[in-house]
A and B are shown apart, each in its own frame.
Chain A
Amino acid sequence: RKEVEQDPGPFNVPEGATVAFNCTYSNSASQSFFWYRQDCRKEPKLLMSVYSSGNEDGRFTAQLNRASQYISLLIRDSKLSDSATYLCVVNTGRRALTFGSGTRLQVQP
C-alpha cells in the first residue's frame, strides 16, 4: 500500500462548480499535511497547509480526519485557472515529506 494515495482523476468540472478531492495516508503517526498545486510542466507550489481544526483560504477549504486518516481539499466556485494537478503531501515520520501522485483537475468553460 502506498504511503499517500490519491485518485488520479481527471476531474472535469464546469466553471463555478464545487469539487472535492480526498487523500488517504497510511502512517497514523503522520504529523504535518499540505496541499500543493502543480501546473503542467511547472514545479509544485504550496497551496495550503492542513491544520487539525481545518482551515480555509478564500475558495479553498482543507480538512483533516485523523481517525480515518484522510485529508480533503474543497474548491468552491471553480475557475478556469484552477485547472492543475493537486498534490497531497504528508510528513510520514521519515525525514522528508511524502508526496502523493496527484489529482488532476480540469475546469471547463
Chain B
Amino acid sequence: GAGVSQSPSNKVTEKGKDVELRCDPISGHTALYWYRQSLGQGLEFLIYFQGNSAPDKSGLPSDRFSAERTGGSVSTLTIQRTQQEDSAVYLCASSLGLVEQYFGPGTRLTVT
C-alpha cells in the first residue's frame, strides 16, 4: 500500500518568507509526527497528533512554527518568517499508536 508522502520534496525560500510543508500519512494511521533533522544530526521531535486529542506541541522550537491536522489525516507544518537556522530536512511519520513509525521521504528546506 501507499506509504507516507510529503510535499514538496525540496523547498528553497528567502529569509522572512512563510512556508507550508505537507504530509499525507498512511491511511488508517491515527498518529502523526513531525521531526526535523539538520545535516549530520539526529531527529528533533517537533509535534505529535493522536486521533482527536490535543496535539503534543512540546518540541516546537518557537512560535513561528505551527501545525495542523485536518480531518485526522493530512497535516501541514507552517513556518512563519523563516530564518536560516530553519534549514533542515523536515520528516513526517505516522503510526497506529506508540508503536513503530513509518517515515515519509522528507522535505529539504533551504532558507537563503
C-alpha spacing A43/B37, complex, angstroms: 10
In the bound complex, do residue A44 and residue B103 qualify as a contact, i.e. CB atoms below 8 Å apart? Answer: yes
C-alpha spacing A99/B44, complex, angstroms: 8
Cβ of B25 within 8 Å of any chain A Cβ, yes or no, is no
In the bound complex, do residue A95 and residue B91 qualify as a contact, i.e. CB atoms below 8 Å apart? Answer: no
CB B81 to nearest CB in A, in angstroms, measures 26
CB B31 to nearest CB in A, in angstroms, measures 8
- Residue of A whose beta carbon sits closest to that of B4: A43
List chain B residues, Cβ under 8 A from A101: 41-42
In the bound complex, do residue A87 and residue B98 qualify as a contact, i.e. CB atoms below 8 Å apart? Answer: no
Number of interface residues of B (CB under 8 A): 21
B33 in complex: contacting residue of A32, A96, A100, CB < 8 Å: A96
A-B contact count (CB 8 A): 44
Cβ of A72 within 8 Å of any chain B Cβ, yes or no, is no
CB B63 to nearest CB in A, in angstroms, measures 20
B48 in complex: contacting residue of A32, A42, A44, A95, CB < 8 Å: A95
Within 8 A of A (CB), among B23-43: 33, 35, 41-43
In the bound complex, do residue A49 and residue B98 qualify as a contact, i.e. CB atoms below 8 Å apart? Answer: no
Number of interface residues of A (CB under 8 A): 20
In the bound complex, do residue A96 and residue B103 qualify as a contact, i.e. CB atoms below 8 Å apart? Answer: no
Cβ of A22 within 8 Å of any chain B Cβ, yes or no, is no
Cβ of B2 within 8 Å of any chain A Cβ, yes or no, is no
B56 in complex: contacting residue of A32, A42, A49, A96, CB < 8 Å: A96
In the bound complex, do residue A96 and residue B48 qualify as a contact, i.e. CB atoms below 8 Å apart? Answer: yes
List chain B residues, Cβ under 8 A from A99: 35, 42-43, 45
List chain A residues, Cβ under 8 A from B56: 94-96
Report A's interface with B, CB cutoff 8 A.
31-32, 34, 42-46, 49, 87, 91, 94-102
Report B's interface with A, CB cutoff 8 A.
33, 35, 41-43, 45, 48, 50, 56, 58-59, 91, 98-106
